[in-house]
Amino acid sequence: SNSLPAHPEKDNKEDTKLVEDYLSKFYTIETDSNQRGWKANAEFTAEKLQKMQRFFGLKVTGKPDTETLEMMKKPRCGVPDVGL
């Protein structure tokens, strides 16, 4: 269709923020920085995304696919899912 697509870059930015907020709230384990060598942030995010996808029984892709984004938008408890 020739209608201007919604602002994909804006959606993307929002989704990226949603994913980062969600993973930092619910899938960040406070670890001793000396134990964990510095990791590329993207790799770290993919690892935590896989952990979240595994917890919710989603396809483990390490990517913020639609199913994963939908799950992240559901109202939930504020207690982390890992590392209590």
Partner 1 sequence: YGVTLPGWKKNNLTYRIVNYTPDLSKEDVDKAIQKAFKVWSTVTPLIFTRIQEGIADIMVAFGTKAHGHCPRYFDGPLGVLAHAFPPGSGFGGDVHFDEDEDWTMGSDGFNLFLVAAHEVGHALGLSHSNDQRALMFPNYAYISPSEFPLSPDDISGIQSIYGSATKTPGKRPTVPTSPNTCGPQISFDAVTTLRREVIFLKGRHLWRVYPDNSEVELELISAFWPFLPSGIQAAYENMKDQILFFKGNNFWVVSGYKVLLGYPKNINTLGFPKGVKKIDAAVCNKNTGKTDFFVGDKYWRYDESTQSMEKGYPRRTVNDFPGISQRIDAVFQHKGLFYFFHGSRQLKFDPTAKRVISEIKSNSWFNC
Q: Which residues bind partner 1 (CB under 8 A)?
A: 25-26, 55-57, 71, 74-79, 81, 84
Instruction: Tell me the backbone φ, ψ of residue 7, rounded to 5 degrees.
Output: -75, 95
Least CB distance to partner 1 at residue 18 (A): 10
* CB of residue 57 to partner 1, shortest distance in Å: 7
- Residue 38 Cα distances to 5, 27, 32, 34, 80, angstroms: 39, 18, 11, 9, 23
Q: Which is nearer to partner 1, 43 or 82 (CB)?
A: 82
Q: Least distance from C-beta 5 to partner 1, angstroms?
A: 26
Residue 77: other Cβ atoms inside 10 A: 7
